[in-house]
Chains A and B, each alone.
Chain A
Amino acid sequence: MTVIDSRDATVTLTYREAVREAIRDAMLQDDRVFLMGEDVGRYGGCYAVSKGLIDEFGEERIRDTPLSESGFVGAGIGAALGGMRPIVEVMTVNFSLLALDQIVNTAALLLHMSGGQFNVPIVIRMATGAGRQLAAQHSHSLEGWYAHVPGLKVVAPATIEDARWMLSTALADPDPVIMFEHAAMYGMSGEMAVDAGPVDINTARVRRIGEDVTIVTHGGSLWKSLEAADALAGRGISAEVLDLRSLRPLDTDAIIGSVAKTHRLVVVDEGWKTAGLSAEIVALVTEHAMWELDAPVRRVCGIEVPIPYAKHLEEASIPQVEGIVAAVHDVVGS
């Protein structure tokens, strides 16, 4: 529940509540905004993000859809072209593959193919990531696939503030924005300044300042990286943690800037290594900051295996704090 503490002017809320508030706020601000997706209405959302919104806004604007990812994502694109500002929820990134045609072949390309005539102002939200023993078809981190596609903007809010405030910026954007919410974070609660307001969706943020090594990460891995940085501080290693926030475009300046300061890089990404987002970041650094590097780069990524069900195996298959700490030690040479 939302608790407002007037003394320090912060509000404590969960990630889920933050996203819900963002949707609610957007719907109140703009009649053109509506939410559409599987079980977003009566059921209250697969992850209870939209719980209660149907009572407030009705079935037209909190629109339950059949299990037709391609159909309703495409309908969202059409509605966007027709003057609406749809928020389309796809339950998980795995299911979004059923809508890949619409997202990649239509939403991302239309503006260009039409010579600039038709932009697609749609926001497509989806859960991503492992950590809840949901096994291989509900747990993957495929953000990097979308980040590959020109025409899309891809964001990954990792903090309560970003969960609350990225949506309005995404909706104001004239082009399609894919928003990845790490499913393990929905229950995470945290403080946010009461007077927090809209945030950009195209820059990275340093979440912890450090001197010795840069940890580049996003989404659910941010918190593991910060925990690792804490542990490292106790051993005299000062790690800077950079939260990408935007996976497309990548904030190259921020990445290069931090590496130019620390001269060492560890990339933490729950997605797979091969041809993945982490590979892109490392490539950027070698292209733009080769001569700043004072140690080999390390990547802490999802192990190249479909995410298994068993808890111990699942944990072993995605980045964990110990792995990040070990990678940093390796890079720092201690």
Chain B
Amino acid sequence: MTDRDQSHALLRQMLMIRRFEEKCAELYQAEKIRGFLHLYIGEEAVAAGVISALQPDDAVVATYREHGHALALGVDAGRIMAEMYGNVEGVSMGRGGSMHLFDAGKNLYGGNAIVGGGLPLAVGFGLADRMQDRNNVTAVFFGEGAVAEGEFHEAMNLAALWHLPVLFCCENNLYAMGTALDRAQTQTRLTLRAASYEMPAWEVDGMDVEVVAEAAGNAVQSIRGGGGPHFLELRTYRFRAHSMFDPELYRDKSEVEEWKHSDPIAAYRARLEEADLLAPEEWDQMEAEVMVEVRAAVDFAEAGTLEPIEDLKRFVHTEEVVR
């Protein structure tokens, strides 16, 4: 068990992601947010845990289910919400939306909506760090569905071959959209895939934020010590639909209910309370603070502005680099 402040921070981080995304779902149904909206609810322990093990200069490449990662990196919640509103105040100036959150200040390199597309990119970050003698780590998040992509294998091979400082974080939530892992891949032990590239790999309980944080901490330490790339399979589960418009024909409600018993937030809260690390009023206060933050984010987005149409053609080529 970690110390009180640290555990509170982890719990609070997960709670923030949860409440923020619940608000996103609500706003989506009210048509404030459009496009695809992929919620991370149920998987909060993964982003909160892994990112807690990173340093500020480390880079993160994420998927289209990346609100949690952005929040965990400290990207401003108001600007994330504004992005989903399509406002110019958004992190990507309304050009990206839910799936493409970028923040140069936090080293968040997306927000990549091509499954597997971010993996080679992470290899390149590792290469650049190596060639410029920087002791940074790049954490790349991807789902278990990406393991079937060629780019996964190309990236794993290159990173291992060149011994690059990359942490591969496979968020295994069992379904690639609606296709279960065992219906799509012959080898469902994903760590064996990593092993075939001679890469250290662990299976991690992705519903337990402390376990995740510890595993990530160990891996990052090893990478920074010159251990080359590492692979974490983070076993997790999304409680909600793949995207918003998904009747979930591919899984039983009972399965979802079963997994909800391992709700990373409820479970961690209970554990902390049991260990006298969290008082009920502290939880209440945490909830209240988070709700204030979420409301502030919504207010910020509601007060936002749309970029003028005349600016449509900005950012096709570099005229101004916003940093």
Contact = CB atoms under 8 A, between A and B. Distances in A.
Interface residues of B, number: 47
Given A65-B158, A81-B109, A116 B93 contact: yes
A151 B133 CA distance: 30
Contacts of B120: 70-75, 77-78, 102
B131 to A, nearest CB: 6
B199 to A, nearest CB: 15
Q: Is the interface of B mostly helix, strand, loop or mixed?
A: mixed
A214 to B, nearest CB: 28
Contacts of B127: 75, 78-79, 82, 84
A296 interface: no
Interface in B96-149: 96, 100, 102-104, 109-112, 114, 117, 119-129, 131-132
A73 B120 CA distance: 8
Contacts of B114: 101, 105-106
B90 interface: yes
B2 interface: no
Contact of B92 (A73, A79, A115): A115
Given A66-B158, A74-B155, A101-B151, A116 B124 contact: no
A80 interface: yes
B124 A117 contact: no
B102 A114 contact: yes
B102 A106 contact: no
Contacts of B92: 113-115, 117
B96 A116 contact: no
Contact of B128 (A60, A84, A106, A175): A84
B94 interface: yes
Contact of A116 (B122, B126, B161, B315): B315
Contact of A68 (B109, B122, B157, B321): B157
B117 A102 contact: yes
B323 A117 contact: yes
A109 to B, nearest CB: 9
Given A73-B120, A74-B120, A119 B154 contact: no
Q: How large is the interface on A (under 10, 10 to 19, 20 to 34, 35 or more residues)?
A: 35 or more
Contacts of A112: 95, 315-316
B123 A75 contact: yes
B122 A78 contact: yes
A118 interface: yes
A151 B316 contact: yes
A119 B316 CA distance: 9
Interface in A150-172: 150-151, 153
Given A71-B157, A71-B158, A78 B315 contact: no
A110 interface: yes
B121 A78 contact: yes
B91 interface: yes
Contacts of B110: 110, 113-114
A106 B95 CA distance: 14
B109 A116 contact: no
Given A112-B95, A174-B321, A68 B158 contact: yes
Interface string B80-95: 0000000000111111
Given A68-B157, A102-B120, A118-B102, A81 B128 contact: yes
A219 interface: no
Given A70-B154, A110-B110, A115 B322 contact: yes
Interface in B267-319: 314-318
A114 B155 contact: no
Interface string A50-84: 00000000001000011010111111111111111
Contacts of A113: 92, 95-96, 100, 102, 110-111
A329 B306 CA distance: 55
Contact of A77 (B104, B121, B158, B316): B121
B71 to A, nearest CB: 18
Contacts of A65: 158
Contact of A79 (B100, B112, B128, B317): B128
Nearest to A109: B100
Contacts of A86: 124
Contacts of A175: 317-318
Contacts of A150: 316
B317 A111 contact: yes
A6 B235 CA distance: 71
Contact of A78 (B124, B132, B157): B124
A34 interface: yes
B155 A71 contact: yes
A104 to B, nearest CB: 10
B226 interface: no
A105 B318 CA distance: 17
B140 to A, nearest CB: 10
A112 B322 CA distance: 11
Contacts of A82: 59, 124-125, 127-129, 132
A66 B150 CA distance: 13
Q: Which of A75, A80, A84 has the most CB of B within 10 A?
A: A75
Complex A-B, nearest 3 residue pairs according to Cβ-Cβ distance, in ascending order = A78-B124, A74-B120, A82-B128
Given A74-B120, A84-B131, 7 more contacts: A72-B120, A74-B123, A75-B127, A83-B128, A83-B132, A113-B92, A174-B318
5 contacts: A74-B123, A77-B120, A82-B128, A101-B114, A114-B110
Interface of A: 34, 60, 65-66, 68, 70-84, 86, 101-102, 105-106, 110-119, 150-151, 153, 174-175
